[in-house]
Structure 1
Amino acid sequence: MRVLTVLHWLNLGGIELQTLHALPWLRRQGIEMDFCCTGPPAILDREFTALGCRIWRIPKTANCYAAAQHLGRLLARVPCALVHSHFGYTSGGFVLGAAGMRVPAVVSVHSSEPLSLYRWRGRPVLGRLRARWLAWHRRLIEHNATAVVGHSRVNLNAFEPGWTHDPKKYRVIPNGIDFPAGRWTRTAARASLSIGRVPVVLHVGALKEEKNHCGLLEIFRQVRKRMPGARLLLVGDGPLRRQVQRDLDRMRLTRDVRCEGSQRDVWCYYAAADAFLFPSITEGFGNALVESQSAGLPIVASDLAAHHESVAPSQQRFLFTLPHYAAAADLVVEQIEAARAGRNPWVAQSQSFVRDRFSTERYARRLTRLYQELAP
């Protein structure tokens, strides 16, 4: 079976890396995958093509009918058994194009709200236009998608509150994480990153508004008052890079915070850190939270509904209410001190929890079952 997966591009994002890691498992079960991208060539293109995937490009457009035409023309040239769009709330044109070619279509919803609408919340007139545009997509998805996959229950609750009444169309398939087998020791990771014996707080995430880097820096500033030698590592890149740098200058944290940019191998950072901090304002799941727990890290994160799915019960008492940043700083210090004293059994418990539930193999098996059911 050949599946055409629709993405913006094949960059170092959570969806792209999850798909890359799942490919070997999918191929063992008879699933071949090609890609339709609306963006330019990106860093992972070579790795996907090396695995036998073909990459096609169609123009990016905000017009659902134009998107449907572009995809329909591609499907006429490149037959496939199924189309899988990862554009979430804005998949309307793609499922319409697939329906026009009588190809089953799956929509993946990765967030608990349309992030484009969230970022426009301070612009009421344009925000209302954006809401109408999203409603257009929503109607097209409702009428043309064969199935809608939420990568957490929270995502489906937001997308379609009554989704449990139609279990054939709406499915929950949690994200899968590729867990490396002990590639880094703490000593080797710290030596590789030139980090001494100081407390290290880690954050992994795109530099975007919803990741709440302003709150993150405020929490770390308060942690430093309790732990003067502490360091913060920021792994990720994005449109707010300059704003983050300005905030570092304003808060006089430039000497204590390292901005590492996007990294293909984040496991070195997980191995080197003492605690993982994730104060997002909105999330659909939180892949980095699963990765950090899998690496055996204590976590402190915002108390979001999605985090109650990705954080093990043993560590959920370290979820804090936004914007209580002083309380969050207390939790970070508590986690670091407990880890250094060897009195944190909840970390091993959470490691087992996430590895049992969120492996790449388990994700690929569930996805294969869905594909085979929709396009036997």
Structure 2
Amino acid sequence: MEKEPVRVLQIIGIVCGGGVEAVIMNYYRHINRNKIQFDFVVDGYEKTILDDEIESLGGKVYHVEPYKKNIFRYMSQIYHIVYDNHYDIVHSNMNTLSVFSLFPAWLAGAHQRILHNHSTAVRSEGMRSIMKMILRPFAPLFANRYAACSHLAGDWMYGKKMMASGRVTVINNAIDLDEYAFSQELREKYRQEFNIPADAFVVGHVGRFMYQKNHAFLIDVFREVARQESKAILMLVGDGELRPEIEQKVAFYGLSDKVRFLGLRKDVKSLYNCMDVFVLPSWYEGLPVVSVEAQANGLLSIFSDRITKESLLTSSASFLSLDRGSKAWASYLLHNYDGRNKNALTELRNAGFDIKERTTFLEDWYDRE
């Protein structure tokens, strides 16, 4: 009789079309599902853009009460999912909030309780930062395995001493590099679809509309770009609570005809082909998967200096200080654009970000305990 695959319960929170769920789905699509199968816990009772794909790959999707609405109901539902379905491995990707999923998983008898940190924090985020700082000491309490997307994210969550001990595993935010390779055919297709001229200069960004991603600064940067380059277009992929505020700022600057709000998309990997430059001015990150995707497409990629230096994976990526201001950012991206990086895929493979190689590592990692 053929052995049933080991089922891993992935807790990912809100599905917003990128970030953490993109990382987990990249691994899920390529992992040997005869050996390891993923099931998912997502916040909210509405169907997400991932449900159909997960189920087509043999996984289950559990919709639960969002923790922000009722944390006790959320924890109770996690407990019953783990207990009733006999999950032995629970992999929480909720950063400091993982205490609220790993505690019920511990009560329900899960033997492997994985805390996976994907982010850091900044003081200027207000109450969100305060809550992260309060919860950080508690997040690892009910975990017995530890992971992070980068050394920076690991240092922030666990401390440098624990990172140095080797107890924390860095799981690269790997992608299918070949799927993100530049395609002239897709570039022409999408520019035609969005009514973007072939000679337009397209600045791109992928990210949820939230404080962390710093969209307000990005709009300031693009305003300066548009002043110098009349054919400039800004593509914003994603959605979130701050989108209306950013739309208002775009309208106030008189840029509505130059900015494309694309919302949540399933074809993000193809959209990179439409861009010329990728900009990520985040206040903080762990190691953003969009930084890997953009570099794989060969784009000139400009990141804020608040992002881990581990994101610098190819010769086409650079860091700029947010303190330099929007004019300096605009000048940099306009004067440093020089077409696609043709060596991008080789550079990323050498850096260990090819999902086809990293899934084997993850399969073995789940099997170690």
TM-score of the superposition, structure 1-length normalised?
0.85
2:347 is aligned to: 353
**1:151 aligned to 2:149?**
yes
Mapping 1:201-240, distance limit 5 Å: 201-240=203-242
1:367 is aligned to: 362
Secondary structure at the residue paired with 1:323?
A: helix
Q: Between Structure 1 and Structure 2, which shows a larger proportion of helix residues? A: 1
Which runs of 5 or more structure 1 residues have no equivalent in the other structure?
none
Aligned equivalents of 2:26 and 2:56: distance in 1? 13
Q: Are residues 190 and 174 of structure 1, via their aligned partners in 2, closer, same or farther at CA, if it must alter by over 3 Å?
A: same
Displacement of 1:219 after TM fit? Answer: 1.0
Q: 1:106 aligns with which of 97, 106, 114?
A: 114
Displacement of 1:16 after TM fit? Answer: 2.1
**1:327 aligned to 2:335?**
no
Mapping 1:268-279, distance limit 5 Å: 268-279=270-281
Displacement of 1:232 after TM fit? Answer: 1.2
Mapping 1:193-208, distance limit 5 Å: 193-196=194-197, 197-208=199-210
Displacement of 1:358 after TM fit? Answer: 1.5
- Provide the aligned C-alpha RMSD in A: 2.5
Mapping 1:164-179, distance limit 5 Å: 164-168=163-167, 170-179=168-177
Aligned equivalents of 1:28 and 1:365: distance in 2? 12
Secondary structure at the residue paired with 1:238?
A: coil
Displacement of 1:132 after TM fit? Answer: 7.0
Aligned length: 354
User: Does the 8 A contact of 1:275 with 1:335 survive in 2?
Assistant: no
Displacement of 1:65 after TM fit? Answer: 6.9
User: Does the 8 A contact of 1:175 with 1:363 survive in 2?
Assistant: no
Q: Which string of whole-angstrom CA distances, capped at 9 and with x for unpartnered residues, describes residues 243-298 of structure 1?
A: 11111122121122121112111233211222111111111112112111111111
Aligned equivalents of 1:67 and 1:191: distance in 2? 45
Aligned equivalents of 2:222 and 2:336: distance in 1? 14
Aligned equivalents of 2:238 and 2:71: distance in 1? 31
Q: Which stretch of structure 1 is more off in the superposition, 150-159 or 354-363? A: 354-363
Aligned equivalents of 1:252 and 1:258: distance in 2? 13
2:99 is aligned to: 92
**1:163 aligned to 2:162?**
yes
**1:81 aligned to 2:82?**
no
Displacement of 1:321 after TM fit? Answer: 0.6
Q: Which stretch of structure 1 is more off in the superposition, 190-199 or 150-159? A: 190-199
Displacement of 1:13 after TM fit? Answer: 2.4
Which runs of 5 or more structure 2 residues have no equivalent in the other structure?
1-5
Q: Which stretch of structure 1 is more off in the superposition, 93-102 or 215-224? A: 93-102
Displacement of 1:28 after TM fit? Answer: 4.7
Displacement of 1:158 after TM fit? Answer: 0.7
TM-score of the superposition, structure 2-length normalised?
0.87
Q: Are residues 228 and 102 of structure 1, via their aligned partners in 2, closer, same or farther at CA, if it must alter by over 3 Å?
A: closer
Aligned equivalents of 2:232 and 2:129: distance in 1? 41
Secondary structure at the residue paired with 2:284?
A: coil
Mapping 1:239-258, distance limit 5 Å: 239-258=241-260
Secondary structure at the residue paired with 1:144?
A: coil
2:78 is aligned to: 71
